[in-house]
Structure 1
Amino acid sequence: MIPGQYDPAAPDGGADKFDDEHYPAYTMGRAADMIGASQNFLRGLDEAGLIEPQRSAGGHRRYSRHQLRIAARVRELVDQGTAVEAACRIVSLEDQLHEARQQNNAERRQPG
């Protein structure tokens, strides 16, 4: 499982799932509408390995708010003329940098 990804088997039994940015609440159609992209665009991000949506019991893709923010950032770069593959790499590196900064800040706050 990807760190921070929604875990349906978590001991909280799904409590607070609407507050959880990693909860897979959105269908592919709704997700595409929300970011102003096509369903094929979202499929492409899945195939590129940038985002890996959860699957419903029926096998349908479900996206979280976190995944939609990533997809929206890729779409923004693509709209500016960046190739999809390059946009995926840029967003992946931005995400890694953000996580590293958060971890660094957390370590700085810990007493000595």
Structure 2
Amino acid sequence: MAQPDDMFGDDDYPAYTMGRAAEIVGASQDFLRRLDEEKLITPFRSAGGHRRYSRHQLRLAARAREMVDQGTALEAACRIISLEDQLEAALEENRKLQRDRSSETA
């Protein structure tokens, strides 16, 4: 189990309640529920069933809110963010493979 000090730097630690998450993101609690329905973020659940959000999830929610505020449909915003994140992960994997390949030939 992570020590409390370790959790401060953990972007995936579910530290925020739904109310606090909505306040931080600048959106309604219903907006956060809709992001869950669209599968952009899946909040953690406390023992009592309450939604809990991590900083990483709040960043995704904030990106979605910005896109929606600019006129993008919620469903499209969620899909775009998912695809952008998949692309970034693939590019990072490609960079890693390139580095590994370069070090093998050196």
What is the TM-score when the length of structure 2 is the normalising length?
A: 0.90
Q: 2:34 aligns with which of 44, 55, 60?
A: 44
- Deviation of the 1:54 alpha carbon: 0.5
Runs of 4+ in 1 over 2 A off after TM superposition: none
Determine which structure has more spread, i.e. the larger CA radius of gyration. Answer: 2
For 2:81 and 2:62, the matched residues in 1 are separated by 10
Q: Could you say what secondary structure the match of 2:48 adopts?
A: coil
Higher helix share: 2
For 1:103 and 1:64, the matched residues in 2 are separated by 24
- Deviation of the 1:101 alpha carbon: 1.4
Is 1:14 aligned with 2:30? no
Matching residue of 1:99: 89
Q: 2:80 aligns with which of 77, 81, 90?
A: 90
Matching residue of 1:26: 16
- The alignment yields a C-alpha RMSD, in angstroms, of 0.9
For 2:88 and 2:73, the matched residues in 1 are separated by 22
Q: Which amino acid aligns with 2:79?
A: R
> How many residue pairs get matched?
100
Q: Which runs of 5+ in 1 are unaligned?
A: 1-12
Matching residue of 1:66: 56
